Structure 1
Amino acid sequence: MKVTVVGAGAVGATCADNIARKQLCDELVIVDIKEGVAEGKAMDLMQTAQLEGFDTNIIGSTNDYTKTAGSTVAVITSGVPRKPGMTREELIGINAGIVKTVTKNILQYSPDCIIIVISNPMDTMTYLALKESGLPKHRIIGMGGMLDSARFRYFLSTAMQCSPNDLQAVVVGGHGDTTMIPLTRLATYSGVPASHFLDADTLKKVAADTMVGGATLTGLLGTSAWYAPGAAGAALVEAIVRDEKKIMPCCVYLEGEYGQSDICIGVPVIIGKNGWEKIIDYNLNEEEQALFVKSADAVRSMNSVLSTLSI
């Protein structure tokens, strides 16, 4: 079993760290375009093997995809964060070129792999990876819903003063401050609706805090978060390589589900060895469905930028 992580920045390195610690594969390959970075981080991680008790062999590569040959799963984290003064179109233009090239390189040596996309803007990059790869839709998965839902459970657990592990809570829709939809109606604490413990105003605040969860961290850190995004990517890898059949909120291609088509957006899916295997219908109420349509419209607007690019 081989897994590849493309991008040796903070998110990619954290994802690789989690994969190694959980021993999700025999060989883990980290690829980066910057000379020596992937090799250095691979060596650093390998020097923790005895301390952490794992046997995964970790290899670093500077833009040499031959080492990734035969990967079961590839995680794309590469790209640039949005910088002050950078327009949405500029960010998409830069990262679209990167994601297109990485996808092509991965599939040249691992044509049967499943691709997980973390690069931003995640919904649009997932859509691009699907269209450019020509792969069956179930083999391209965007990570965003996993991260947003983890943040939702964090803010719920803080409000309820309980363990996030006892909570079930999911976010659907686009992976963005104005497009994600925390489904407070469906949130539960060991099977009991969260609304039994929190009043409507508190639940609204939890949802609002979730929606700006990434921006809040960026404000505090001065850069994008990496621990939770990396762990979310690794959790998806785990569900695939261990064929866990878990229901996870992910960005996948819709063909009529939730009233939407020709779009990659966050919905609950069953994840197993074949990638995403089935979309789960949460039967959104009228208000939630209206928000989902609005979210999809915003994602489509982002996707429309792709047609203007020369990549």
Structure 2
Amino acid sequence: MSLKAKLMREVHSEVSEKASSKVSIVGVGRVGMACAISILQQYLTDELALVDKVVDKLKGEALDLLHGSMFLKSHISADTDYLVTADSKVCIICAGVRQLEGEEKEKQMQRNIAVYKEIIPQLAKYSPSAVLLVVTHPVDIMTYVAWKVSGFPKHRVIGTGTNLDTARFRFLLGAKLKINPISIHAYIIGEQGDESVAIWSSANVAGINLEQLDEKLAKDQEIQIHKKVIASAHDVIHLKGYTSWAIGLSVTNIVGAILKNLRSVHLVSINAKDEHDIRADVFLSLPCVLGTTGVCGILRQPLQVGEAAKLKQNAESLLKTQRELQL
């Protein structure tokens, strides 16, 4: 008699059931694992699957998490075979290549595209109804690549976009005003990175528009704080060598909205065609309502003339880059 049989009398044979809220993460580097631990600690998923091509790294990270199984509420699996991702509700893609010394960004981007051409078809094969969530930089371009390679409808391919930039914006405003960032409503849209667009015209605390309080002061603060937002990632990288925790929390914020069908608003990179006079399939960040099917809606955000012009410049720049890609 087996140890299990001595321990208990089985009254019903085990049945293999699909997880109802499975999440897969491709790439178990610092960002991928920050996403993993954040998702696990917030108990969002029944099953978390990890994929990476570096076998020892993958096994080590999975084993480290499994040793903490007693403290978690999710089944954890890991493999180099994408079959482990089957039936995922959300597939998070953190994989990417590092820029080589002296390498042009365009060449690095093209190498990332080659990586995506391997990853995306496998995810689409095993989880054809999943939402793809792109984290790899440059996130807007790579989200476009994921959309083109996967063949998924546009509402199920999104990037982390300016979700974290917006969080940084609110954090800095909160520090300035001595108010918790959760009570501040201010957004950064457009292309993620140095060319992002801070929407100061609608920034408010409890409905009190900050620009209307003092237009000149508000404009000065917008410039200063937006510069700090842009520099935030560089500051962290300079101090600790990389960013991880904040983007992990940002990803979890997005994943939670999808899995729980919260229909909450998030600044994610999506196909912006027909929004704000954008006429091409360009991916950039706009305030979106997220739910179980991915993007449920895109808010018709009022923009001032200058803000709209910057957003249009973002779209034109991204479109130029997209047209130069070798897909």
TM-score calculated relative to the size of structure 1: 0.92
User: 1:220 deviation in Å?
Assistant: 2.7
Shift of 1:84: 4.4
| Cα separation, partners in 2 of 1:222 and 1:85, compared to 1, 3 Å | farther
- Is 2:305 the counterpart of 1:286? yes
User: Which residue of structure 1 aligns with residue 28 of structure 2?
Assistant: 8
The alignment status of 1:30 with 2:50, answered yes or no, reads: yes
State the SS of the aligned residue for 2:313: helix
Distance 1:86 1:220, change over 3 A: farther
Whether contact under 8 Å (1:123, 1:174) holds in the other structure is yes
CA distance in 1, matches of 2:314, 2:263: 27
Contact map agreement 1:81 1:120 (CA 8 A) in 2: no
Q: What is the aligned partner in structure 2 of residue 109 from structure 1?
A: 126
| Separation (CA, whole Å) in 1 of partners of 2:231 and 2:319 | 21
1:74-223 matched pairs, under 5 angstroms: 74-177=91-194, 179-195=195-211, 196=213, 199-223=218-242
Residue identity over aligned pairs, in percent, reads 29
Deviates more, 1:1-10 or 1:157-166: 157-166
Q: Quick one: which amino acid aligns to residue 242 of structure 1?
A: K
Q: CA RMSD in A?
A: 1.7
**Deviation string, structure 1 residues 115-139 (Cα, Å, up to 9, x no partner):** 0000111111000111111111100
State the number of aligned residues: 303
Q: CA deviation at 1:180?
A: 0.6
| Contact persistence 2:258–2:292 (CA under 8 A) | yes
Counterpart code for 1:17:
I
Runs of 4+ in 1 over 3 A off after TM superposition: 81-84, 194-199
Aligned to 2:164, the other structure's residue is in SS state helix
The amino acid of 1:128's aligned partner reads V
Partner of 1:299: 318
Instruction: Confirm whether residue 73 of structure 1 aligns to residue 90 of structure 2.
Output: yes
Distance 1:200 1:257 in 2: 26
Whole-angstrom CA distance in 2 between matches of 1:234 and 1:39: 23
TM superposition score normalised by structure 2: 0.88
Query: Letter of the aligned partner of 2:251 in structure 1?
Result: G
Give 1:90 deviation, angstroms: 1.1
Larger Rg: 2
The amino acid that maps onto 1:105 is Q
- 2:199–2:303 contact (8 Å) kept in structure 1: no
Letter in 2 for 1:248: H
Partner letter of residue 216 of structure 1?
D
